[in-house]
A and B are shown apart, each in its own frame.
Chain A
Amino acid sequence: MTAVARPRRQRPVSGVSRAGAIVRGIVLGLGALLFLFPFYYMVIGSLQTTVDPSIAGAFPNPGNLTLDNYVAINSRINLLTGLVNSGIFTGGVLLGTFVFGLLAGYSLAMLQWRGRSATFALALLVQVVPFQLLMIPLYVLIARDFGLADNYLGMILPFFINSTAVVIFRAYFLQLPKELFEAARIDGASELRLLWSVAIPLVRPALVTVVLLTFIGPWNEFLWPFLVTKDAALQPLAVSLANYITTVSASAANPFGAILAGALVLAAPVVVLFIVFQRYFTSTDIGSGVKG
C-alpha cells in the first residue's frame, strides 16, 4: 500500500501494490454504485407512468415516461408551500447561526473573558445531548406553555444556533494571526468592526462550510417539525411528504411514482447545493467541528 506513494524506492513490491490499487478501485467503485443506485432509481421511479419494479424497470423506457407523478403529488401536498416552509425554517436557523453563532465563535477564539472555557465545553457537550431527552420537555414548553405550535418560531427555536457551527467558527478564527488584531485594536477599531472587516473576510471558506452544514440540519429535520406543526399550510416539505406516505398514498393511482416525485423535490435542493460546494465539505473542517 505504501509503495503507491514511493514507487521508485519500493520496486519489489510494486506488483503487489498495483494489485492492491486495483482491489481498492473495485471495492470503492462497487461501493459507490451501491450508494448512488437508489438515487438513480428515485429519478427513474418518479418518471414512470405505471410502476415497474422489475429489473427492466431500472432502465428508462421511453414509452413509460411521464411527469404526471409530479402533478399528482402536487395536487395532494402543495410542493411550493412545503418548499417555502422548509426554506423559512432553514433560513431562520441560518440567520441565528450566522448572527449569534459567529459572535460566539469570535469571542471564544479572540477574547479573554471569564467563563470562556466553560462555554466552549458546553458547545461541545450539547452536540452529543440526545434529542429523546429533550423531546418531551421541549414539546411541553414550546407547543403548550408558549403556545408556539403551528408557528415558525416554535419550529426554529430548538435549532436556532448550530453548536457545530460555533465550534467551526472558533477553530477558524483561532488560526488567524493575532498580530493583525492587536495592530487594529491599537488603531482604535472596535471588536465588532474587527469581526466584520478583518475576521469574517479572512474565513470566507469556513462560511460556506457552515452554510452547507447548517442547511442540511433543518432542511432534512423530520421529528421536531412533525411534532409541532399540525397545520398543513405551515408544514415543511419533509413533514407533508411523510404524512402523504403514511396516510394518503394508498388512494393515488401510482403511489410509488408520486412518493418518489415528492422525495426528489425534497432531496434536490440539498444534493445540488452539496455537489456545487462539495469542495468546502472537507474532512478537516467538519472534523474540527465535531471534535473541537
Chain B
Amino acid sequence: MTDTLTTRSARAPLAAPADGRKNHRRGRLLGKNPLGLLFSGPYLVFVLAVFAFPIGYSVYIAFHDFFFAAPGAQVDRPFVGFDNFVTALTDPAVIRSFANVGVFLLINVPLTVVLSLVLATALNRITRLRTFLRVSYYVPYVTASVAVVAIWLFLFSGDGFVNQVLGPLAPDPSWLINEQLAMPTIAIFVTWKQLGFYILLYLAALQAVPKELYESASTDGAGAIRSFFSVTVPGVRSATVLVLLVSTVTGANLFTEPYLLTGGGGPNGASASPVLIMYQRGLQQGQPDVAAAIGIILVILVLIIAFIQNRFVGGDDR
C-alpha cells in the first residue's frame, strides 16, 4: 500500500518544471515554494520527536542496562549486547504472552477479513435502512474500549446474560475465567469492536470495482456466490492487504482488553498479551530495558507476519 502511494507522489515533482518555468530564478534548493517546508515544519518536527527519535531510543534502551533514574542524575548505563533479549526470551511469561497473541491473531484476523467483507458487500447492495445499518456497525468502533469492556464484563460474567441464555450449555468455568476460553473470548470481543472500521475500508474499495465485471459475470451465468468469489474478492484485494496489515498491527498492540476483562491477563497468564507484560516488566517492575526488547521482538514478528500475508494475498499488482 505504502509503496504504490509513494511512487505516485514521487512522480508529482516531475510535473513541476512544466508549469513552474516563471519561478526559475527563485532558486531550486528548497523547491519552487520553500514556504511549503515552513508550513509542514511543525508536523515534521512532531514526527521526528514522537516517532523517529523514540524508535531509535527504543533500540538504545534495549541494548543497554537501562533503569529509571531521577531527572538530571548522572548514571552509568553500560552497553549489554543482547542480554535484555535473552532475559526476555527465557522468561516463560513472555513466551506465553507471544503464544497468547498468536491465538488471538489466528482467530481475530481471519474472522475480521471474512465478516467485514461479507457485511460490506451486503451493505453495498442494500437500499432500504442503509444508513441505520451502517451506523449500527460503526457504533462499537467509535465507542471507547473501556466503555464496551464494561458491557462485556457484565454480559459474560459467571451468571451473566450470555450464560443465562445458554443455560446448561454455559461453559464452566465461565468465559473470562476459563484458561481455554479467555483468549478466544477476547479475540471475538475485539473483532466485534473493530469490525466497523474494516467494513468502512471495504465499502470504499467496493466503490472502485467496475460494475461491468458483475454484468459480464452474470451474463456468463454466474450466480451471486460465484460472482462474489470471482469478481468481488479479487476486486478488493488491495483493501484485503490493508485490512490484514492493520488488524495484525492492532491485534499485536492488545492491552486494554486483557488488562480489564481478565484482571490483568488471567487466568494464570492465559490472556496476558506482550504489551501487558511490557507494562508489568517495564513500568511496574522497573525494567524498561527488558520491556523495550520485548517490544522490538514483537515488532519483528509482526513484520514477518505482514511480509508473509503480503506474499500470499498481495498478488502480482505490487
A, B bound: yes
A141-B57, A144-B68, A270-B143 are contacts. A287–B204 as well, Cβ < 8 Å?
yes
Of the candidates A1, A32, A113, A245, the one whose C-beta lies within 8 Å of that of B214 is A1
Say how far B275's CB is from chain A's closest CB, in angstroms: 5
Q: Are A256 and B61 in contact (CB under 8 A)?
A: no
For A129, the chain B residues whose CB sits under 8 A away are 51, 55
> B144 contacts the other chain (Cβ, under 8 Å)?
yes
A32-B133, A119-B43 are contacts. A283–B207 as well, Cβ < 8 Å?
yes
Of the candidates B44, B152, B211, the one whose C-beta lies within 8 Å of that of A38 is B152
Q: Are A136 and B61 in contact (CB under 8 A)?
A: yes
Q: Is the interface of A mostly helix, strand, loop or mixed?
A: helix
Within 8 A of B (CB), among A247-279: 256, 259-260, 262-264, 266-267, 270-271, 274-275, 278-279
**Partner-binding segment picked from A19-27, A60-68, A200-208:** A19-27
Q: Mark B284-299, 1 if CB is under 8 A from A, else 0.
A: 0000100110011011
Q: Are B150 and A147 in contact (CB under 8 A)?
A: no
Of the candidates A131, A245, A290, the one whose C-beta lies within 8 Å of that of B150 is A245
For A117, the chain B residues whose CB sits under 8 A away are 6, 9-10, 12-13
Say how far B97's CB is from chain A's closest CB, in angstroms: 11
> A238 contacts the other chain (Cβ, under 8 Å)?
yes
Q: Are A27 and B122 in contact (CB under 8 A)?
A: yes
For A2, the chain B residues whose CB sits under 8 A away are 214-215, 217-218, 227
Q: Are B47 and A122 in contact (CB under 8 A)?
A: yes
Q: Mark B211-241, 1 if CB is under 8 A from A, else 0.
A: 1001101100001100110000000001000
A55-B164, A133-B299 are contacts. A113–B36 as well, Cβ < 8 Å?
yes
Say how far A269's CB is from chain B's closest CB, in angstroms: 10
> B109 contacts the other chain (Cβ, under 8 Å)?
no
> B318 contacts the other chain (Cβ, under 8 Å)?
no
Q: Mark A198-242, 1 if CB is under 8 A from B, else 0.
A: 000000000000000000100110110001000000000010011
Q: Are A45 and B298 in contact (CB under 8 A)?
A: no
> A135 contacts the other chain (Cβ, under 8 Å)?
yes
> A196 contacts the other chain (Cβ, under 8 Å)?
no
Counting chain B residues whose Cβ lies within 8 A of the other chain, the interface size class is: 35 or more
For B42, the chain A residues whose CB sits under 8 A away are 99-100, 103-104, 161
Q: How many Å lie between the Cα of A281 and that of B137 in the bound state?
A: 12
Of the candidates B40, B66, B143, B223, the one whose C-beta lies within 8 Å of that of A220 is B143
Say how far A155's CB is from chain B's closest CB, in angstroms: 13
> B265 contacts the other chain (Cβ, under 8 Å)?
no
> B312 contacts the other chain (Cβ, under 8 Å)?
no
> A166 contacts the other chain (Cβ, under 8 Å)?
yes
Q: Are A157 and B223 in contact (CB under 8 A)?
A: no
Of the candidates B58, B151, B260, the one whose C-beta lies within 8 Å of that of A137 is B58
For B6, the chain A residues whose CB sits under 8 A away are 117, 120-121, 124
For B123, the chain A residues whose CB sits under 8 A away are 28
Say how far B143's CB is from chain A's closest CB, in angstroms: 5
For B61, the chain A residues whose CB sits under 8 A away are 136-137, 140
Say how far A105's CB is from chain B's closest CB, in angstroms: 9
Say how far A112's CB is from chain B's closest CB, in angstroms: 4
Say how far B276's CB is from chain A's closest CB, in angstroms: 10
For A132, the chain B residues whose CB sits under 8 A away are 252-253, 274-275, 278, 295, 298-299
A132-B252, A137-B58, A241-B146 are contacts. A39–B151 as well, Cβ < 8 Å?
yes
Of the candidates A103, A107, A227, the one whose C-beta lies within 8 Å of that of B283 is A227
Q: Are B144 and A266 in contact (CB under 8 A)?
A: yes
Q: How many Å lie between the Cα of A124 and that of B3 in the bound state?
A: 10
Q: Are B40 and A119 in contact (CB under 8 A)?
A: yes
Q: Are A3 and B36 in contact (CB under 8 A)?
A: no
A145-B71, A284-B204 are contacts. A271–B142 as well, Cβ < 8 Å?
yes
Q: Known contacts A25-B126, A53-B157, A191-B39; can you find 18 more A-B pairs with CB under 8 A? A: A1-B214, A20-B224, A31-B137, A36-B136, A39-B151, A104-B43, A116-B9, A117-B12, A121-B9, A128-B246, A136-B291, A136-B292, A140-B61, A256-B153, A259-B154, A260-B151, A286-B201, A287-B203
**What are some 21 contacts across the A-B interface (CB < 8 A)?**
A32-B137, A53-B159, A53-B160, A54-B164, A55-B164, A103-B42, A104-B40, A113-B31, A113-B32, A114-B34, A117-B13, A121-B9, A128-B249, A131-B253, A141-B57, A144-B69, A145-B71, A157-B50, A220-B145, A246-B263, A266-B144
List residues of A whose CB falls within 8 A of some B CB: 1-6, 10, 13, 16-17, 20-21, 24-25, 27-29, 31-32, 34-36, 38-39, 41-42, 45, 53-55, 57-58, 96, 99-101, 103-104, 106-108, 110-117, 119-126, 128-141, 144-145, 147, 157-158, 160-161, 163, 166, 191, 216, 219-220, 222-223, 227, 238, 241-242, 245-246, 256, 259-260, 262-264, 266-267, 270-271, 274-275, 278-279, 281, 283-284, 286-288, 290-292
